Amino acid sequence: MSATHLAAIRAQPGRSEQLGACLQGLLEPSRKHAGCLSFEISRAASNPQLWWIEGVWQSPAAMQAYFAEPLLQQVLGRALRERLISSLDCSAADQVRAA
């Protein structure tokens, strides 16, 4: 069973470029994390203030291990300290992957 998390992060007005640059610090380390099947960061085409982060993990345990690592807290903590984030909405779901 795989697990997916999705985060919608809205930038403060006029700070979207800075937020995107900050979030890029997650990309390569997250992709290299044990159990990562896919990790993407994208900007919403319809709203330049909105960023999406989606991760797909081999299992719920692999996803939880990623959340327990300091990287995510460091990057999001920096974005909060620099007042780049207006809102943050996260969701996670376990999925049964067809063989």
CATH number assigned to the domain comprising residue 9:
3.30.70.100
pLDDT tens profile 37-67: 999 999 999 999 999 999 999 999 999 999 9
* H-state helical runs in 5-96: 16-31, 60-68, 70-81
Per-residue pLDDT, 95: 57
**What is the pLDDT of the chain when averaged over all its residues?**
93
Please report, for residues 41, 48, 70, 83, the alpha-carbon distance to residue 55 in angstroms, rounded to integers and kept in the order given: 9, 21, 16, 24
Task: Give yes or no for a contact between 7 and 93, defined as CB atoms under 8 angstroms apart.
Answer: no
Q: How many domains does the chain have?
A: 1
Residue 89 domain boundaries: 2-95
Going by C-alpha positions, the residue among 61, 54, 53 that lies closest to residue 34 is 61
- The model's pTM: 0.87
Per-residue pLDDT, 97: 47
pLDDT tens profile 9-24: 999 999 999 999 999 9
